[in-house]
Structure 1
Amino acid sequence: MVWSLSLLLWQAPAAFAQTSDLKSDDRLRVCADPASLPMSDKSETGYENALAELIADKLGVPVAYTWYPMATGFVRNTLNVKRCDVVMGYAQGHEMVLNTNHYATSVYVLIVSEDGPLAGVRSLSDAKLDGKRIGIVAGTPPASHMARNGLIGQARPYQLFVDRRHQSPAQDMLADLDAGEIDAAVLWGPIGGPLVKQAHPDLSVIPLVGETEAPRLYYRITMGVRQGEKVWQRQLNSLIRRHQDEIDALLREAGVPLVNDMGTAVKKPEG
């Protein structure tokens, strides 16, 4: 997502054969960022904290955290040295961890004033965006779409790599939107959606499900466990499958925009 890092895999087959017995059985040991709201926080108020509580409750054990900034060395210094056993949110397909089945698919969003002139926009190719000041986190996939549509010249970039204990580009961007310094904001949905729900009632969140050209703007979100821990992976896969409705409800309540597995439409609640 967007939030995973790039390190080499462990490569010793003998080690892989043993890892299924290394996780704790009396606690759900979670690797998490202590300052990454709305996902996780040391106060345990993020929605990934709530997801950890849900999974722990199904396992009948308490949650125990290992806190470490989501930056270079995160997996190496937490999961891989066996200080914890699972990362609650990880992009599908990244090789640093063994991914579970995905429990959510989300997408980048356009955020605009609920009653403003851009409220009806559903795509970055909409002519109504021409000449508008759009906030974008530099280096993220929507920047390519904005460049293709001639929107970069007036864009306001926000930093991708910051110390989240002291800075929040997403919160800064939404504050600038509220203040009228920008006309719209483009953010990763699992960040922008919850932040808007929590503190920006006059803003509207629009999932960008209509963008068909590369790069894709949707990602499947999994839990990450140590390479080789297939028994633990299968146990979590079973929990995800049996409790998907509860997971969806938790994420929707947090404000996370959920889309179908191909990122082409907003996912409707069951029933």
Structure 2
Amino acid sequence: MAFQPMTAESVSAQTSDLVSKTAFRVCADPANAPMSSEDGSGYENKLADLIASKLELPVEYTWFPMATGFIRQTLRANKCDVVMGYAQGHELVLNTNHYMVSAYTLVTRKDSDLAGVETFSDPALQGKTLGIIAGSPPATHMVRNGLLAGARAYNLVVDRRVESPAVDMLRDMEAGEIDAAVLWGPIAGPLVKESYPDFQVTPMLKEEFPPRLFFRITMGVRMGEKVWERKLNSLIRRNQQEINALLEEAGVPLMNDMGTAPLEAVN
């Protein structure tokens, strides 16, 4: 039999056969609130429900902690077909088009002199104790502005079943142990909306120097799954308003595509 070279189309067709036709199979962390939770309360759970309803399929989860080995043990092992939230450009997955843009934020008390601060160079931050997730992008800005020495660091990579750095940070702020919290908006916004009515979440959008503090969030699929990626891209495009409404209801601060202003400011 003559040799038949593998084209991009044939590879896509082959790999897309791995995608379940009977369920919307989601890879997720069982204890990653407010994003995903085994009880279905996370906003990524609700997003999965929305996409599954458009596909007219039930949702089926493969649960695994969002830590080292997550993609290898779930998506690459063909136990599931999509990760609901993944930063654009990550090399471990094939990214769909983004369905939201969000940013790192500063969480303060509404009556604090730090309320509304939008840059780490603001003099109001000098001498304050800020909570920061160790190794996250805002740490570079804090070093540049002399804020890291007096900061309190919280662990970046943890098993959320036994440790929750963002929740711990907000509790410490409520107790007066830190003056403000530097947190990824899609975590900070929902936690504050749910439990901290006296807190304010301000996106850090005014920084002039790198690294950037906004990110485009996509769904992640297996490398080579171009047919599946295009199908999800179409669903995202046709249902963007519903997706935005779901995220806004959860309290996620949404930005425009360039990360320069809140989404509502440009609609």
Task: Report the TM-score when normalising by structure 1.
Answer: 0.93
Aligned to 1:67: 63
Matched, 1:100 2:96: yes
Partner SS for 1:96: coil
For 2:193 and 2:210, the matched residues in 1 are separated by 29
Contact 1:30 1:66 in 2 (8 A): yes
Please show how residues 189-204 of structure 1 align to structure 2 within 5 Å: 189-204=185-200
Matched, 1:42 2:38: yes
Contact 1:245 1:270 in 2 (8 A): no
Matched, 1:150 2:129: no
Partner SS for 1:232: helix
Matched, 1:212 2:208: yes
Aligned to 2:3: none
Residue type at the aligned position of 1:253: E
Partner SS for 1:247: helix
User: How far has the Cα of 1:270 moved from its partner?
Assistant: 8.1
User: How far has the Cα of 1:120 moved from its partner?
Assistant: 3.2
Contact 2:96 2:220 in 1 (8 A): yes
Aligned to 1:9: none
**Which whole-Å deviations, capped at 9, do the CAs of 1:86-142 have from their partners, x for residues lacking one?**
100001011211110000011000000011121132221110110000000111100
Identical aligned residues as a percent: 64
Greater displacement, 212-221 / 118-127: 118-127
**Which whole-Å deviations, capped at 9, do the CAs of 1:33-91 have from their partners, x for residues lacking one?**
01100110111110000000000011111100000111111111111121111100001
Residue type at the aligned position of 2:174: D
Contact 2:116 2:202 in 1 (8 A): no
User: How far has the Cα of 1:221 moved from its partner?
Assistant: 0.2
**Which whole-Å deviations, capped at 9, do the CAs of 1:142-171 have from their partners, x for residues lacking one?**
011011111112111111122210110100
Q: Structure 2 vs 1, CA of residues 270 and 248 (structure 1 numbering), >3 Å: closer, same or farther?
A: farther
Partner SS for 2:263: coil
- 2:166 is matched with which residue: 170, 186, 193? 170
For 2:112 and 2:90, the matched residues in 1 are separated by 39
Contact 2:190 2:250 in 1 (8 A): yes
Matched, 1:238 2:230: no
Please show how residues 10-89 of structure 1 align to structure 2 within 5 Å: 18-89=14-85
Runs of 4+ in 1 over 6 A off after TM superposition: none
List gaps (5 residues or longer) in structure 2.
1-7
User: How far has the Cα of 1:212 moved from its partner?
Assistant: 2.2
Please show how residues 226-265 of structure 1 align to structure 2 within 5 Å: 226-265=222-261
Residue type at the aligned position of 1:119: A
Contact 1:107 1:263 in 2 (8 A): yes
User: How far has the Cα of 1:24 moved from its partner?
Assistant: 0.9
Matched, 1:90 2:86: yes
Aligned to 1:10: none
List gaps (5 residues or longer) in structure 1.
1-12
Contact 1:91 1:221 in 2 (8 A): yes
Greater displacement, 178-187 / 116-125: 116-125
The structure number with the bigger radius of gyration is 2
Contact 1:68 1:74 in 2 (8 A): yes
